[in-house]
Chain A
Amino acid sequence: MITELLITLAKILFIIGVTVGFFAPILTWVERKQSAIMQDRIGANRADILGFTALGLFHAIADALKMFTKEDFIPEGANKILHTLSPIIAVIPAILTFAVVPFGGVYNLFGREVNLVISDLDVGLLFVFAIASIATYGYVIAGWSSNNNWSLLGSMRTASQMISYEVTMGLTIIGVLMVYGSMRLTEIGAIQEDFSRWGIFLQPLGFLMFLTAAIAENKRIPFDNPEAESEIVAGYFTEYSGLKFGMFFMSEFIEMVTISAIVTILFFGAWHIPFLTTATLLSWFEILGTTGANLLVMLIHVGVFFAKVIFFIWMQMTIRWTLPRFRYDQIMKLGWKILLPLSLTNVLVTGIVILMLH
Chain B
Amino acid sequence: MAYYVNRNVKMTWWERSYIPEILRGMYITSRHFFLNLFGFIPFFLGRKKEREIFTVYYPEEMVKYPPAYRGRPVLALNENGHPACVACGLCEIACPAYCIHIDPGCNSGKQNEIERWPEKFDIDYAVCIFCGNCEEACPEEAIFMSDDCEISMLDRKKMRYTKEQLLVPVAELKDRIEFTRKMYAKWNY
Q: Do A and B bind each other?
A: yes
Please give the residue numbers on chain A whose beta carbons come within 8 Å of chain B beta carbons, in ascending order.
34, 37-42, 45, 208, 318-319, 321-323
Partner of B55, one of A34, A40, A319, A323: A40
Give the residues in chain B near A321, CB-CB below 8 Å: 29
Asked if B29 and A42 make an inter-chain contact with CB atoms under 8 angstroms apart, the answer reads: no
Cβ contacts A to B, 22 pairs, < 8 Å:
A34-B33, A37-B32, A37-B40, A38-B30, A38-B32, A38-B33, A38-B36, A40-B36, A40-B53, A41-B55, A42-B55, A42-B57, A45-B57, A208-B19, A318-B26, A318-B33, A319-B26, A321-B29, A322-B22, A322-B26, A322-B29, A323-B22
Query: How many inter-chain residue pairs (CB < 8 Å) link A and B?
Result: 36
Asked if B33 and A322 make an inter-chain contact with CB atoms under 8 angstroms apart, the answer reads: no
Q: How far is the CA of A168 from the CA of B13 in the complex (A)?
A: 23
Asked if A318 and B29 make an inter-chain contact with CB atoms under 8 angstroms apart, the answer reads: yes
Residue of A nearest to B33 (CB): A38
> Given A45-B57, A318-B26, A322-B26, A40 and B19 touching (CB < 8 A)?
no
User: B37 within 8 Å of A by Cβ?
Assistant: yes
The 8 tightest CB contacts between A and B, nearest first, are A322-B29, A38-B33, A37-B36, A322-B25, A38-B29, A42-B55, A322-B26, A38-B32
B24 to chain A, nearest CB (A): 10
Give the residues in chain B near A208, CB-CB below 8 Å: 19
Give the residues in chain B near A40, CB-CB below 8 Å: 32, 36, 53-55
Q: How far is the CA of A172 from the CA of B37 in the complex (A)?
A: 36
Give the residues in chain B near A42, CB-CB below 8 Å: 55, 57
Give the residues in chain A near B22, CB-CB below 8 Å: 319, 322-323
Give the residues in chain B near A39, CB-CB below 8 Å: 32
**Seed contacts A318-B29, A322-B26; 15 additional CB < 8 Å A-B pairs:** A37-B33, A37-B37, A37-B40, A38-B29, A38-B33, A38-B36, A39-B32, A40-B55, A42-B55, A42-B57, A208-B19, A318-B26, A322-B22, A322-B25, A322-B28
Give how many B residues have a beta carbon under 8 Å from the other chain's beta carbons. 16
Q: How far is the CA of A45 from the CA of B40 in the complex (A)?
A: 14
B15 to chain A, nearest CB (A): 14
Q: How far is the CA of A208 from the CA of B17 in the complex (A)?
A: 12
B38 to chain A, nearest CB (A): 10
Residue of B nearest to A319 (CB): B26
A141 to chain B, nearest CB (A): 33
Q: How far is the CA of A322 from the CA of B57 in the complex (A)?
A: 25
Residue of A nearest to B32 (CB): A38
Fill in one digit per residue for B103-116: 1 if any A CB lies within 8 Å of its CB, else 0. Answer: 00000000000000
Q: How far is the CA of A319 from the CA of B22 in the complex (A)?
A: 8
Fill in one digit per residue for B39-57: 1 if any A CB lies within 8 Å of its CB, else 0. Answer: 0100000000000011101
Give the residues in chain A near B32, CB-CB below 8 Å: 37-40
Fill in one digit per residue for B7-29: 1 if any A CB lies within 8 Å of its CB, else 0. Answer: 00000000000010010011011
A232 to chain B, nearest CB (A): 24
Q: How far is the CA of A319 from the CA of B26 in the complex (A)?
A: 7
Q: How far is the CA of A225 from the CA of B37 in the complex (A)?
A: 31
Residue of A nearest to B59 (CB): A46
Q: How far is the CA of A322 from the CA of B22 in the complex (A)?
A: 8
A57 to chain B, nearest CB (A): 15
Q: How far is the CA of A167 from the CA of B19 in the complex (A)?
A: 21
Give the residues in chain B near A38, CB-CB below 8 Å: 29-30, 32-33, 36
Partner of B25, one of A34, A45, A323: A323
Q: How far is the CA of A279 from the CA of B57 in the complex (A)?
A: 51
